[in-house]
Structure 1
């Protein structure tokens, strides 16, 4: 076990280093070709490619036997569809429906080919036919919503990547220390994804030398959603709440965006500049300040998630605190909206 832990640490460090080297190389390569054409400095949106390659390289080097596992290959295939969707979007700018098609296609690969879905333990005692429909709808909706949430959050240097690192590491901690049955493969995928983003993050922090792009934001959100569904197999209903708490910043931001668009009669799928980070910027805050505020909020929710596992008898109070903070965020968003109107 000790040897495995040491090897794992080396793999994680190696993955982060490989991601950093790959990110740096992509920056130089992109600048070399674009500077000849534009005669100006252009920030490449290629972060997702570095994260994708370093993540899967680290994973298959740690678990070479899984290279021949059909379920794992289907996850790889689905993530490849997401990567391709992001690359095409970054290059040609897909409309929301075209982008949604790519995400939904990948989500269906996860459900039908990788056999990853919400399990019976999380659903009430219902007939098999109703269960299959409900499981499908919940799985596809969760993957689609989370993938889009991270994509919408990626509006400032280092924001989506840093929030994701904190959420992934916290989910790995709760998985290792508090799960009834630890799924080593899922745990390592969480850690490897975090390591891949950590290697990229110094180049993405303000002022960014490289962007996540839709390629990276879609991939991170998609993998987080997929891994949380995988991790919830035969878990309790409470376990379903933890991934929501950890990603509550992007999930709240997207939910509020849907709410305000419904209230104003605007399209639900078109981008705008009225998200949390946009509103904080309009208050006069700098980009790093906004990122630190949203990262700090994620850390608070992460601590609450760990405490809810560590102290089950406090769980109701902790969930009450989560609801209270979320409600306060909702009120704050309404106030910021009123301020803008004035």
Structure 2
């Protein structure tokens, strides 16, 4: 499809998104039925907000939707530049996704220990890197700016660390119905918009196709899963789903940012060179912030960084007085402001982008402070999945 004289496959990417959503929506119902019939439901833990046993492993349905969307993309002439033999990245993410989802489903069913799950995450990240989706260069903006070219070992190490970080960030933030799916959809949407701007600016650069396809499929599977998962949830995505979202965000981010070189923009345009990193960092800012805060909090108390607690950002918003649904919507709003605000600088003039982002930031701050403005600080009765009431501890 033409866009401003440049071939931008908008219709094809939209079709990829819609197919991912449709297949995920339909498959999720089948997975829920199978889990209910087999008796595999998530037990209630002390840190959980829900109060009704609910089937998990929705990530299996999400991966099915993702695989279907990628297969469709591989059959569309306008998107074949994103596949082998031109680039191995889509092949890499399919195999890495399969590894992550298998580990996640096992964990959803029998609850693996933290070390085993971490080994599975590393295996998925290394698989993705060795098959060709990895950081190849890193732009350093200091002293006039330079591009560091990574060898195989360096790129694999950096890609693995970055991927495992994101996988755990999304896994940590997955504590309320619809939260991880919504954040994944918003962050994926931001990366998709950025990839489209690169396709437009670079006249259809091959390097921009994989992140655009991955981001479109990610948005689709999250959108398809949300109707089943938004409060009150009928099925959880489980670790299989949250880890898959983290992997796909890492893959799209790596593909969008890991190949940027000075030759694409010119040595003097530092802002343009840094824009991929800014957009990616913004898209994943909230989950990573929650992860970093959790690790610092737990280590400062002499606990394992993987020890569960009720001090995540969504728990704090609930204690402020937000309802379950409003907490999710507030976090959606913040991720949208940060991620789409960063993207706006590559789409519209900087002054307009800065003004719009500032207004959106103030709006998000007001929405967050609503319970304080109402004088409802402290414990609040929140609706659980069974529509029964539970009170959060101070």
Structure 1 segment 4-15 matched on structure 2, within 5 A: 5-15=10-20
1:86 correspondence with 2:111: no
Deviations, residues 20-70 of structure 1 (Å, cap 9, x unaligned) = 1111122223223329xx9xx842112111110111111112204647775
Alpha-carbon distance in 1 for matches of 2:276, 2:303: 35
Tell me the secondary structure at the aligned position of residue 112 of structure 2. Answer: coil
Contact 2:104–2:238 (CA under 8 A) maintained in structure 1: yes
With over 3 angstroms needed to count, the CA separation of the structure-2 counterparts of 1:314 and 1:96, relative to structure 1, is farther
Which of 109, 122, 134 is equivalent to 1:104?
122
Instruction: State the TM-score, normalizing by the size of structure 2.
Output: 0.73
Name the counterpart of 1:246: 283
Counting helix residues as a fraction of each chain, which structure ranks higher?
1
Distance apart, 1:134 and its partner CA: 5.0
Contact 2:19–2:68 (CA under 8 A) maintained in structure 1: no
With over 3 angstroms needed to count, the CA separation of the structure-2 counterparts of 1:224 and 1:108, relative to structure 1, is same
Deviations, residues 241-288 of structure 1 (Å, cap 9, x unaligned) = 211111211111111112222332322222222111112222333211
Alpha-carbon distance in 2 for matches of 1:31, 1:191: 31
1:198 correspondence with 2:223: yes
Tell me the secondary structure at the aligned position of residue 55 of structure 2. Answer: coil
Name the counterpart of 2:171: 151
With over 3 angstroms needed to count, the CA separation of the structure-2 counterparts of 1:314 and 1:118, relative to structure 1, is farther
With over 3 angstroms needed to count, the CA separation of the structure-2 counterparts of 1:241 and 1:126, relative to structure 1, is closer
Distance apart, 1:231 and its partner CA: 1.2
- CA RMSD for the aligned pairs? 3.5
Distance apart, 1:128 and its partner CA: 6.6
Name the counterpart of 1:30: 35
Instruction: State the TM-score, normalizing by the size of structure 1.
Output: 0.83
Contact 1:118–1:229 (CA under 8 A) maintained in structure 2: no
* Unmatched tracts of structure 1, length 5 or more: 333-338
Alpha-carbon distance in 1 for matches of 2:161, 2:215: 21
Distance apart, 1:6 and its partner CA: 3.9
Name the counterpart of 1:59: 70
Distance apart, 1:7 and its partner CA: 4.6
Name the counterpart of 2:385: none
Tell me the secondary structure at the aligned position of residue 310 of structure 1. Answer: coil
1:216 correspondence with 2:241: yes
Distance apart, 1:312 and its partner CA: 6.1
Name the counterpart of 2:25: 20
* Unmatched tracts of structure 2, length 5 or more: 44-51, 262-272, 370-377, 380-392
Contact 2:20–2:66 (CA under 8 A) maintained in structure 1: yes
1:188 correspondence with 2:206: no
Deviations, residues 289-339 of structure 1 (Å, cap 9, x unaligned) = 110111111121133112222356459968x97xx99xx9xxx9xxxxxx8
Alpha-carbon distance in 2 for matches of 1:146, 1:11: 24
Alpha-carbon distance in 2 for matches of 1:270, 1:13: 38
**Number of matched pairs:** 328
With over 3 angstroms needed to count, the CA separation of the structure-2 counterparts of 1:247 and 1:128, relative to structure 1, is closer
Distance apart, 1:226 and its partner CA: 1.4
Contact 2:210–2:252 (CA under 8 A) maintained in structure 1: no
Distance apart, 1:199 and its partner CA: 0.9
Which of 44, 67, 92 is equivalent to 1:74?
92
Name the counterpart of 2:185: 165
Deviations, residues 61-81 of structure 1 (Å, cap 9, x unaligned) = 220464777553332221111
Bigger mean CA deviation after superposition, 145-154 or 271-280 = 271-280
With over 3 angstroms needed to count, the CA separation of the structure-2 counterparts of 1:18 and 1:317, relative to structure 1, is closer
